[in-house]
Structure 1
Amino acid sequence: MATLGIHGCLRLLGTPAKKGLCGNPALIEAVAFNPPEDIAAAIMAHVIPASLMKFDSERPLVSLASISVPATFSLSSSLMIPNERVHGVIEHGGIVPGIITDNSRTRWHVRAPTTRQADALLKRVRACIEAASTGTGCKVNFQTFPSFTDMRANSTLCDAYVEDMASFGVIVVKNCETTPASTYMGNVSYIVPSFHGGFVIAADATTTLHRPAFATAARIEAAHSSTMQGAKGMTMMAIRVLVDDKTASAARADFEKDED
């Protein structure tokens, strides 16, 4: 940048504990995005199907409760709207068959298109867990992890990415439809102008994210090429924001408009 006479600073951040403790909220708490008024844009991309371009709010929750919780959810699920999601897994349910364990632990993710909807759904999920606890004579403790907010897409940055990727032959579709996915980049989008894009790697139609088959697909040369194209598009956008005051101002205006 100094050689080219480009003023500004590019900061590359690795995200800790992506799937465990919600990395970007931890970075925000560690003032990685301070002072926010001095940051022109935060940029990232994820290897995802091209249609997944907007993300839900998510409320991760761990409960220590009775394993009968899913029965109460079966009654509550009929009241959920189609784009709300509740995912659960039993992390500890005992070690010997036929013996009632003295404690159990489950983990739940509560998703909805907006933060407000996710908060409301989380209250209902907690109520279901508490009902199961009461019905089985158990005590329940909750541990709530940092939550994901909904993603505030920045139209200026999205347009820049589409244009920059097209300049070297990669067609990216700007899609603002809600999809059942979540990202901690949503938290960043409430602090600074933000972009979360996606790029596609070749994989079997039945291959989904976060599965061994997807990890295998990500190791092939074509996947590396797609990743480099996505990285190139993000780099071009970052340079554009730094050298083009019009783009930076428009991205800031989009961000401030969303705050109103």
Structure 2
Amino acid sequence: MASICVAEVDVVYHGQSAHASAMPHKGRNALDGLLLAYQAISNLRQHIRHSERIHGIVTDGGRAPNIVPDRAAGEFYVRAKNAEDLEALKPRVRACFEAGAKASGCDVEMNWGGVDYLDLNTNWPLAAAFKANAEMLGRKFDADDERSLTGAGSTDMGNVSHRVPSIHPMLAAAPRNVVIHNPEFAKYAGGEMGEQAALDGAKALAMTAFDFLADTRLQADAKRAFAIAKGLG
């Protein structure tokens, strides 16, 4: 599985409530601040790398249409191929939030997650062992499944993979044309195909763990690959 870095940030805009029709000039619209930032981020997407992603949602947009929102909140994910690119992208996103606050006359607080998820450092000797074991169980892999660099998901397993040799295999729980994070995918994943993927995955992982414990060559290959990937070999 290919995986990229992600940083999570919660933003809250603070404005001034007022009657939206009778006294709008007394208000400072926090929702305007958030939506201006959202639009700025949408524009920023035109000028970031193809391996980078920024997406978010509004979690609080006000209480009633006739009240100028004095509070608005959103949750955003910022993703990049590696930690260096992620750190370079964060200030550009931060500037969008600050611009929304300045334009709307509101204040903004940004609460970044304490730990970013890192990109996945796949250990290819272990991945090859897993693939062989999964194939023994009847699973089939396409050639482009092996080292795909287009994966745009993120996982805390990425952090683990920078500490010790790791893999994060994926087995199909739905037909290839089914979009993930979608009701149709949930139907397949909760059905027979998903159950079989879970069973095959558990078996293949157990078989791979046994191979690693019993095969000194696999241990050495995994250790060497990890050192090279970390620039230590």
State the TM-score bracket (shorter-chain normalisation).
Answer: 0.7 to 0.9
| Amino acid in the other structure paired with 2:74 | T
Could you say if the C-alpha distance between residues 223 and 72 of structure 1 is closer, same or farther in structure 2, counting changes exceeding 3 Å? closer
Aligned equivalent of 1:199, options 153, 171, 178: 171
Could you say if the C-alpha distance between residues 74 and 220 of structure 1 is closer, same or farther in structure 2, counting changes exceeding 3 Å? closer
Counterpart Cα distance in 2 of 1:239 and 1:128: 50
- Identity across aligned pairs (percent)? 29
Q: Does 1:73 align with 2:41?
A: yes
Give unpaired runs (5+ residues) of structure 1.
1-52
Specify the SS of the correspondent of 1:223. helix
Aligned equivalent of 2:212, options 234, 238, 241: 241
Whether the 8 Å contact between 1:113 and 1:178 is mirrored in structure 2 is no
Give unpaired runs (5+ residues) of structure 2.
14-32
Counterpart Cα distance in 2 of 1:165 and 1:150: 24
Q: CA deviation at 1:219?
A: 2.2
Normalized against structure 1, the TM-score is what? 0.75
Q: Which has the larger radius of gyration?
A: 2
Corresponding residue of 1:167: 136
Deviation per CA, 1:102-161: give whole Å up to 9, x if none.
111111001111111122111110111011111111111111112111111111111111
Normalized against structure 2, the TM-score is what? 0.83
Q: Does 1:216 align with 2:184?
A: no
Corresponding residue of 2:17: none
Counterpart Cα distance in 2 of 1:159 and 1:204: 22
Counterpart Cα distance in 1 of 2:37 and 2:92: 12
Specify the SS of the correspondent of 1:73. helix
Corresponding residue of 1:135: 103
More helix by share: 2
Corresponding residue of 1:153: 122
Whether the 8 Å contact between 1:193 and 1:255 is mirrored in structure 2 is yes
Aligned equivalent of 1:85, options 53, 64, 71: 53
Please provide the CA RMSD for this pair: 1.7
Matches within 5 A, 1:113-132: 113-132=81-100
Corresponding residue of 2:6: 58
Counterpart Cα distance in 1 of 2:194 and 2:42: 40
* Greater relative CO, 1 or 2 (CA 8 Å, sep 6+): 1
